[in-house]
Amino acid sequence: MNNIAILCSGGDVSGMNPALKHFVEYSLQKDLTPYFVYDGYEGLIDNNIKKATYKDVAGIINRGGTKIGSARSQRFMQKEYREIAKKNLNMLNIDMLIVLGGDGSFRGLDIFYKESGIKFCGIPSTIDNDISSTEYCLGVDSALNIIKTSIDSIRDTASSFSRAFVIETMGRDCGFLALVSALTSGAELCLVPEKEYDLKSLEESFKEQIKNGRRYFIAVVAEGIKDESQDIANWFEEKIGIESRVSVLGHIQRGGNPTIYDRLMAYRFINNAIDALLEGKEESIICYTKDGFKYKGIDEVVNTPFVLDPKLLRFLKNI
């Protein structure tokens, strides 16, 4: 039997646990021996690699986070530690590796493959949805649903008190979470790093809306914009004349019960990843595109800058 390992790297997402469960099931179905690497690349270096069984994945499909831990490893950026990682995998006869992570994790993997020859397949997993070449990253739907529930709750209190709420979403330098959340929650304002904005140009219209009976505003802003969320709240108070509050959603966006969509995507990503390795693909990332799943070379994925879908960005004009 061949040995195959999986690890989670970078920010965890809801959907990693369903992926781990299906990894064990599908590996065994394909006569492979599955291994878990605990705590990302750190576990590769520290030889924290253990055989995985059905028992390890019982009762995790509904849990956010990742049962095997994740990490952002500084040591893996150094060649001496990557050599230790290679030795540890060689000792266990593991020559296939699946990595759930974002583009930072894939960059490390690319170098590791070139040095070690360990075959790998990457599964894009980040709530930021900021990996080029794939339209979907595991965990995004769960994060969007958490944001949706939070904004719906905030709207209740915003309307009761006549206030403006500035709701800050995660996403690093990418405005995807903020944009989709604003569009699907009926926000009055959305600010993302990908689009220049001029608050002054909105002042007349917002003041007019209050005169015409508007009681509250919902503004969804991405954490990566040039201003602090508090600055936007101050603008509402000082220029629009409405009491304001800031709500930073923070890490609640990364946890919670994985949605049906993420459970299904976890299943499909894993199937594709294991199939790719068994078909002899040595260094691919499974990308989800409008034509379905595609295997893309890691060089293409990590070297193509991410661009937020212009068609989606165009909707901003309507807010």
- For residues 118 and 170, which CB has a smaller minimum distance to ligand F6P in the complex? 170
Q: Annotated catalytic residue: which of 39, 110, 128, 262? A: 128
- For residues 43 and 101, which CB has a smaller minimum distance to ligand F6P in the complex? 101
Pairing of strands 119-124, 189-191: unpaired
Instruction: Confirm if 217 and 203 have CB atoms less than 8 A apart.
Output: no
239-266 in b/e form (b: 16+ CB < 10 A) is: ebebebbbbebeeebbbbebbebbbebb
31 classed as catalytic? no
Please tell me the distance from the alpha carbon of residue 118 to that of residue 116, in angstroms, as a whole number.
5
Cα→Cα distances 308→122, 194, 257, Å:
21, 7, 27
Helix axis angle, 79-91 to 103-116, nearest 10° = 70
228: its two tokens: 């602090």
- For residues 190 and 274, which CB has a smaller minimum distance to ligand F6P in the complex? 190
- For residues 73 and 126, which CB has a smaller minimum distance to ligand F6P in the complex? 126
Please tell me the distance from the alpha carbon of residue 36 to that of residue 53, in angstroms, as a whole number.
10
272: its two tokens: 């594709």
- For residues 42 and 223, which CB has a smaller minimum distance to ligand F6P in the complex? 223
- For residues 95 and 223, which CB has a smaller minimum distance to ligand F6P in the complex? 223
Question: Residues interacting with ligand F6P, by CB under 6 A?
Answer: 11, 102, 126-128, 170-172, 223, 254
**What is the smallest separation between the CB atom of 13 and ligand F6P, expressed in angstroms?**
8
Task: Give me the count of residues in the chain.
Answer: 319
165-190 in b/e form (b: 16+ CB < 10 A) is: bbbbbbbbebbbbbbbbbbebebbbb
Please tell me the distance from the alpha carbon of residue 16 to that of residue 61, in angstroms, as a whole number.
9
Q: Which residues are catalytic?
A: 128
